[in-house]
Homo-oligomer: A and B are copies of this chain.
Amino acid sequence: MSTLENRQWKLVARPSGMVKRTDFEFATEPVREPGAGEVLVKTQYLSLDPAMRGWMNDVRSYVPPVGLGDVMRAGGIGQVIASNDPSLAVGDTVNGGTGIQEYAVMNAKWLTKVDPTFAPLPRYLGALGMPGLTAYFGLLSVCEPKEGETVVVSGAAGAVGSVTGQIAKIKGCRAVGIAGGQDKCKYLIDELGYDAAIDYKADDVRKALRAACPDGVDVYFDNVGGDILDLVLTQLARNARISICGAISQYNNTEPTQGPANYLSLLVFHARMEGFVVSDYAAQFPEARKELAVWIGEGQLKAREHIVDGIETFPETFQMLFNGQNFGKLVLKVAE
């Protein structure tokens, strides 16, 4: 065991704007033996999420920032290769906060066992993982969409947005997605069943929204913030609900966040804007996971992962999220 070498990415500087390779150190350390209640996990796939950018900042938020010198926090999936806890056995496939490293020694209670025969492993980091749960609770619990309502989703081809639009359809809503580029827009319509797609890079978003939502926007699931949030605010329907899931357009700001200048539309339309973090709903994860799995099993919920190979590529691969270069849930492959 002690001869295993663990390559890991440590955060060594607080990034300003987009992350740079020099904000991290690619270190190699020996793997320690798991203590009582701990297991050793060999990482296979790591989840790269926009929220990770926020965790690199030294600000009070819903979780403490990653400390300088610490392994970068991330969700991962892998195999138990040594266990010191009766709940997990060698060979089990598990999901949890492994961090960006090849091996993780973790308390068994922070890991969830998953069935590697049900779905490809990367899916447990996407539609069957935190992004899927984020879509589920951010849409269903925060916005309570009703049949026939119009649901607009930004970042609609992303890990969270792709699931959000499909759940909206499952619940009998009209789904309108906003994404960057023709390929993603085509994917929204042809593969995911969105009723309309808006290409924010090419379309006049204001006009396209009006055309796609003639009765206004009942529900808006916001992953991006910035100008798109402001445009949607002008086209709400009465009693609209906005779920604030994220604001990827703002995460690399070196200036203050762009607040929604049109927030007084909330008053005009008697609308509300509510924020959430998926962990707010942790108690309900098991039932939600079950429902997502049923939808995936039935083919009602499709998913796509964008897999990049090699832990050594982490800083550059992570940047893809902010350049809109990933198409599907961005996953870093560490080992087979």
Contacts and interface: CB of A to CB of B under 8 A. Distances in A.
A276 interface: yes
A270 B259 contact: no
Of residues A60, A267, A277, which shows the largest number of chain B Cβ atoms within 10 Å of its Cβ? A267
Contacts of A256: 261
Interface in A15-37: none
Contact of A263 (B60, B268, B273, B280): B273
A6 interface: no
Contact of A277 (B62, B268, B275): B268
B257 A265 contact: no
A260 to B, nearest CB: 4
A235 to B, nearest CB: 11
A275 B280 contact: no
Interface size class of A (residues with CB under 8 A): 20 to 34
Nearest to A233: B259
A302 to B, nearest CB: 27
A245 interface: yes
Given A258-B261, A261-B258, A266 B274 contact: yes
A164 to B, nearest CB: 16
Contacts of A179: none
A61 B268 contact: yes
B230 A259 contact: yes
Given A62-B267, A270-B277, 13 more contacts: A244-B263, A244-B267, A246-B267, A247-B264, A260-B260, A260-B263, A267-B275, A267-B276, A267-B277, A269-B275, A270-B280, A271-B274, A272-B275
A87 interface: no
Nearest to A245: B267
A262 interface: yes
Copies of the polypeptide in the assembly: 2
Interface of A: 60-62, 225, 230, 244-247, 250, 256-277, 280
Top 8 nearest A-B pairs by Cβ distance?
A: A266-B275, A259-B259, A267-B275, A272-B274, A259-B261, A259-B260, A256-B261, A257-B261
Contacts of A245: 267
A259 B265 CA distance: 11
Contacts of A277: 267-268, 270
Contacts of A266: 244, 273-275
B273 A273 contact: yes
Contacts of A265: 275
Nearest to A236: B275
A217 to B, nearest CB: 15
A275 B269 CA distance: 7
A144 to B, nearest CB: 12
A273 B275 CA distance: 9
Nearest to A280: B270
A262 B167 CA distance: 29
